Amino acid sequence: MANGSTILKLSLLLAMIMATQAYVRVCYYTNWSQYRNGLGKYSLRSHYQKGLCTHLMFSFGKVVKSGNEYTIDQYEWNDKSNLYKEMQDLKKDDPGLKTLLAIGGWTHASKGFSPMVSSKQNRAAFIKNSMKFIQDYGFDGLDLDWEFPGEGGDRGSSPIDRQRFTYLCQEMAAVYHDNGLLVTAAVKAAESSVRHSYEVAKVAQALDFINLMTYDLYGHWSSTLGHHTNTDRNARPHNLHLTVETWLKNGANPKKLVLGLGSYGRAFSLKNKCQYHPGHPGGKARAGRMTGEGGFLAYYEICQMKFDNHVCTKDSKVHAPYGNAGDQWVGYDDQESIVYKIENVMKKHNLLGYMFWALDLDDFTGKFCGQGKYPLMNAAKDAAEGRRKSYSCMTKDSCDGVRPPPPPEPTMPTNPPVVVTGKCKGKAPWGAQYDVWCNQGENCQLACNERNDCKQGRPCSVCICPNDPEPPKTTTTTTTMSTTTTTTTTPKTITTTPKTKTTTTKGPKMNCKPKLELFIKIKWFCNAYCYRCDKNIGSRTTKFFNSYCTCE
């Protein structure tokens, strides 16, 4: 019979086992890593380490149209013939490993997604076809990496896609779960994306889990230095704490959220080698020797840098290292900062686990950093499972007496500049951000045809073609005793008595209101943009108008 001491030890051991099983370890694998130079070339068969991940995401597949229906297909020529099988073969030695196909990505943007979710019929066909695809190739589920629903600009999605993305998640989960399959999503980290892209509570309830892309908060698209995984709680407009808390406050269950970690850094070229703190001037850095992308360095490339100035996690306000070698600056994560994020973000908020972008960007050969194979991913696993280790780092400053004091916290844009091509444009003021979207014929058939040529004289509530008339402007006159609204088709000056106040509003009538939650703060939207608040308007425009506004 076991004594009390033995029972206590067994109880503690069981508690430790349960704790280690509680966290998921999600790892994204990129199929283009097979093309990298030298020791940067990655192969799942040759380099994957058993037990490193609980879920492997194959990046990426794409949404395509086949006949009258939407489905998914491979991106690279050898995905079906080789790479899918390499991933599934890993299960032979690791039976508990789950594999999912991630569809979408930054380059894919909204192409395929927007028209696919536009109707219940399209969504149903896509769900059926995609399920057959992943079952045929041995995947355990699908990861939706739509970048980003409801976001205009160069992302090419309309506001209504926010709600339609919710429908896709709900409908797909119902079918996939009945067939024993997983449905997950990767979502943008910025706080504003909750308003524009995601109905948080509904999406979180439907999906098995959500991968928060809590990286790329800053990058070379800004003119000033910024750390892309900033964990300074007071930093604005973005930091990891704020992102996670925004999702939680909007109704996400913490056990549905997975913290995103980066095994790479965002790099800049310095204007002044001794101005190397976040907020100082910077531009796009040179490409890495093996990754070949400007402003982006894998961890194994960063380990080869000989820093002139370097700030360690323990000395860094952003709780992550950064530094420069000559005029090349990089903000990145090392073992120490990864552990900080696990302990102070993931565990503090009681999240489901963590994910890495990407498996092939860590020092997977162990030949560059002197920290063994997969140093970042193993540090995260150790920290998640309660094994606290110490890591070495040295802060270095070669500019004493030369460097000016660090500037105040910057406010930096987080999206690359938008390049617009085509003949159509979004109507100002609200639709101005949808210039690119307006030039995708499948998104706005009212304004543009499939060749992106404008259909002159065809009205559209978001887009406008060259030579089309702008929306009529309105002048509203308000007296102290009563309110009178007068609509004119051309601007004119109204002369009033001293007791009369003249104002100009953005709409002809003040009896319309937003229907969708994301327009609540844009009080003038329905009256300024849906200027046809009229029951007798043509049916197609009425339907478009009714998607956004309602008349009282």
Handedness of CA 127, 130, 134, 136 (dihedral sign): positive
Catalytic one of 86, 147, 151, 336: 147
Q: Is 147 a catalytic residue?
A: yes
- For residue 2 the two structure tokens come to 């076991």
Whole-angstrom Cα distance, residue 198 to residue 196?
6
- Is 312:336 a contact under the CB 8 Å cutoff? yes
Whole-angstrom Cα distance, residue 87 to residue 267?
31
Which residues are CB-neighbours of 413 under 8 A, at least 6 positions away? 221, 222
Whole-angstrom Cα distance, residue 533 to residue 49?
61
- Is 434:152 a contact under the CB 8 Å cutoff? yes
- Is 428:144 a contact under the CB 8 Å cutoff? no
State the DSSP code for 408. Answer: P
Side-chain-facing half-sphere of 294: CA atoms under 13 Å: 7
Whole-angstrom Cα distance, residue 369 to residue 545?
57
What's the farthest any 2 CA atoms get from each other in the chain? 100
333-355 burial: b if 16+ Cβ within 10 Å, else e? bbbbbbbbbbeebbbebebbbbb
Query: Of 240, 198, 195, 197, whose CA–CA distance to 218 is shortest?
Result: 240
Which residues are CB-neighbours of 325 under 8 A, at least 6 positions away? 305, 306, 307, 308
- Is 142:103 a contact under the CB 8 Å cutoff? yes
Catalytic residues: 147
